[in-house]
Chains A and B, each alone.
Chain A
């Protein structure tokens, strides 16, 4: 029999039993939709992680105090200098931050600011859309200049951020001239939100806003990616020496690369876990298919006998029943993929990042077909193996 005719027979039989076929394939629908979504969530999560950390130089190490609030033995600017003595450290610079009442025009609110050295902007991939970044001169000359995060500017200007460049803002009643407006960074993955912040030269922030109470954090840039762990070792031993009271344990030393790696591996682990759930669903649905196929073969025993009498070969019978199982599960795979695709917006409504991918579609369809072949084979083989006379006698 020509393949086309065989396929036609397969479809006639499935169509005749459409309701049962649909019920049979329900598990496959759920399984494939799950696979599709799992892969979409995996891809979405990974994209989110990568996007979050893309702004972060992987060679960057952040040294902060391990406890929030007042610290007995804080980090100092001197520590930053000492860190540069390590052969594995390219540069190290302190960052101070604080919060206060910000005002522009007649809008005012609480907000946070950073006192930074110009290198900080480079290390964090900050760039301006209008105006300029902070420069060495601003630091040495104590220029009362400010660079604004894009969300901050948006909020304070009520949607016209461009106009603020060149104007003055007030922080705790002190005025600073806005010289630059930053590009949007997005979620940086760190504890600071750049887009909502104001950046000032460090000396200016200390002089006018923080006084001597400033406890800087230190950003260290390692020589290269491979020296990150040696740099961390060096930083620890330097801290142990200089902060004898509590040693390095009172500080948190985190490098961006390992944070990225662990975030990625968490996302991967989640995906694998969900994927195995989907595979279990498919196996269960496969057993359902096998069950229904056995019933089908039993019901059609006499027909199989007739087909053999008019010349159907063993492989033609096998192909027909295997074809039914595969088509049923493949249709389930298609429906499941469509439903999975339809669920993506629902997931994003629940703030789960899901990114539909061709990989997910292929994987889902592949699994549905494999399920059909694997679980349809034995019933189909049973059908093909029937003795024609016994099959013809069967009532």
Chain B
């Protein structure tokens, strides 16, 4: 069958340090973090509040630069990239799912999902078809023209997931995707991520919910900015 060796490294981050200067104090939020995620892995990062989960996610998501370290995403040296290249990387290599969904309130569900494709320069008709396909996949075929405030929390999160996967990025990043959902919707969302994983997606989910983490293939712990594998 296949072995680890012929799989791609999606995330390859070494010795990541992130420090914040607060007044006179130097706060080390990520302390020498090394993490690798292989293609089609489903990883959970588990840790208490304030441990640095979101900070790590921002670095891995090319939204923030670490103080030091090295980071290759899908073979590209992220820390050498300029601002514009980072924007393109976020657009093409990463799909974000946020705790609060972060849908654009004035756009319909399908317009929200089309947006990453439009930022790629794909034309509208094409983007529409691809967005519709993903929304149908997530059971939202009757909600295409609804605005976020006309959708339930669970539906909003499914739209957000559709937006994250519409461009078929090599990496899905989710920061507490179930944090704003009731238990039923949470289970649905986890199920969706598992399905996506089985379809070949590489997923990194941040959570402080043990029940969520337990369902996943691989769990990494973070405490006070340090990473522990099991």
The CA-CA distance from A85 to B58 in the complex, in Å, is 98
Is A16 located at the chain interface by the 8 A CB criterion? yes
The CA-CA distance from A122 to B106 in the complex, in Å, is 74
Q: Which residues of B contact A12 (CB under 8 A)?
A: 106-107, 111
Q: Across the interface, do A388 and B121 meet the contact criterion of CB distance under 8 Å?
A: no
Q: Across the interface, do B87 and A308 meet the contact criterion of CB distance under 8 Å?
A: yes
| Listed stretches A76-84, A173-181, A312-320; interface member | A312-320
Name the distance in Å between B20's Cβ and chain A's nearest Cβ: 11
Q: Which residues of B contact A245 (CB under 8 A)?
A: none
Contact A310-B63, Cβ < 8 Å, known A2-B118, A2-B121, A392-B102? no
The CA-CA distance from A12 to B147 in the complex, in Å, is 13
Is A303 located at the chain interface by the 8 A CB criterion? yes
Name the distance in Å between B27's Cβ and chain A's nearest Cβ: 15
Is A4 located at the chain interface by the 8 A CB criterion? yes
Name the distance in Å between B65's Cβ and chain A's nearest Cβ: 10
Q: Across the interface, do A311 and B116 meet the contact criterion of CB distance under 8 Å?
A: yes
Q: Across the interface, do B87 and A313 meet the contact criterion of CB distance under 8 Å?
A: yes
A388 touches which of B63, B84, B106, B124 (Cβ 8 Å) = B63
Closest to B59 in A: A389
| Listed stretches B90-98, B177-185, B213-221; interface member | B90-98
Determine which residue in B88, B104, B107 has the highest number of CB atoms from chain A within 10 A of its CB, and name it: B104
Is B120 located at the chain interface by the 8 A CB criterion? yes
The CA-CA distance from A319 to B163 in the complex, in Å, is 23
Name the distance in Å between A302's Cβ and chain B's nearest Cβ: 7
Closest to A15 in B: B106
Is B83 located at the chain interface by the 8 A CB criterion? yes
Q: Across the interface, do B63 and A389 meet the contact criterion of CB distance under 8 Å?
A: yes
Q: Which residues of A contact B98 (CB under 8 A)?
A: 306, 309, 392
Within 8 A of B (CB), among A288-312: 302-303, 305-312
The CA-CA distance from A5 to B118 in the complex, in Å, is 7
Contact A312-B104, Cβ < 8 Å, known A389-B63, A389-B64, A392-B63? no
Q: Across the interface, do B119 and A316 meet the contact criterion of CB distance under 8 Å?
A: yes
The CA-CA distance from A312 to B64 in the complex, in Å, is 15
Q: Which residues of A contact B118 (CB under 8 A)?
A: 1-2, 5
Is A13 located at the chain interface by the 8 A CB criterion? yes
Is B123 located at the chain interface by the 8 A CB criterion? yes
Is B46 located at the chain interface by the 8 A CB criterion? no
Which 5 pairs between the two chains have the least Cβ-Cβ distance?
A: A311-B91, A306-B102, A313-B87, A311-B119, A16-B106
Q: Given contacts A1-B121, A311-B90, A388-B63, list 18 more A-B pairs with CB under 8 A.
A: A2-B121, A5-B124, A12-B106, A12-B107, A12-B111, A303-B102, A306-B98, A307-B104, A308-B63, A309-B90, A309-B98, A310-B119, A311-B87, A313-B84, A313-B119, A389-B63, A392-B63, A392-B98
User: Residues of B with Cβ closer than 8 Å to A?
Assistant: 58, 61, 63-64, 83-84, 87-88, 90-92, 96, 98, 102, 104-107, 111, 115-116, 118-121, 123-124, 163
10 A-B pairs whose Cβ atoms sit less than 8 Å apart in the complex: A5-B118, A302-B102, A303-B102, A303-B104, A309-B61, A310-B119, A310-B163, A312-B119, A313-B88, A389-B64
